[in-house]
Amino acid sequence: MHQRIVEEKISLLKKKKEELVENIKNGEEAFIVDDKLIHQTEKILINIARALSSICTILTINRLGRIPKHSFESLELLIKGGYISAKYGVNLYRLFRFLNFYYDFASFKEEDVYRISVDTISLIEKISREVEKMVKA
């Protein structure tokens, strides 16, 4: 059951990654002056952060037998348990912080949204492969 859910989340991540690529294809200078594009990209990043948070929670429950209190805890447990590479941890933490900050305060600066988007594109590809291997094992 959890394998199917994780696979659906990974499929969503890949779709959202393509949307990010499309949104930032013209570079940072064009991106930061387009309010509509920034807002649209923030929504995509929120969807990506939610999907990654769900994946981390599902893996924490199924691989470690623990119910995490929040996405940061599940990520930390998965990294410590060797299920997710620590090299992706920084970008995942940043993405989860983006999600929490967005709900608690306001939007990030345009440059931050662009930078997080660029980092997230490569993160999705790497983390998807890692999680797909883990789930199929």
Extract the tokens encoding 3: 């394998």
Say whether pTM exceeds 0.85.
Answer: yes
Distance from C-alpha of 93 to C-alpha of 32, rounded to nearest angstrom: 23
* pLDDT for position 90: 83
* pLDDT for position 97: 82
pLDDT tens digits for 41-86?
Answer: 999 999 999 999 999 999 999 999 999 998 889 999 999 998 888 8
DSSP string, 62-113: III----SSHHHHHHHHHHTTSS-HHHHHHHHHHHHHHHHHHHS-PPPHHHH
Q: Residues of the chain with pLDDT > 90: what percent?
A: 58
Provide CB contacts within 8 A for 43, sequence distance 6+: none
* pLDDT for position 1: 57
pLDDT tens digits for 14-31?
Answer: 999 999 999 999 999 999
Return the SS3 of 54: helix
CATH numbers and ranges of domains, the chain: 2-136 (1.20.120)
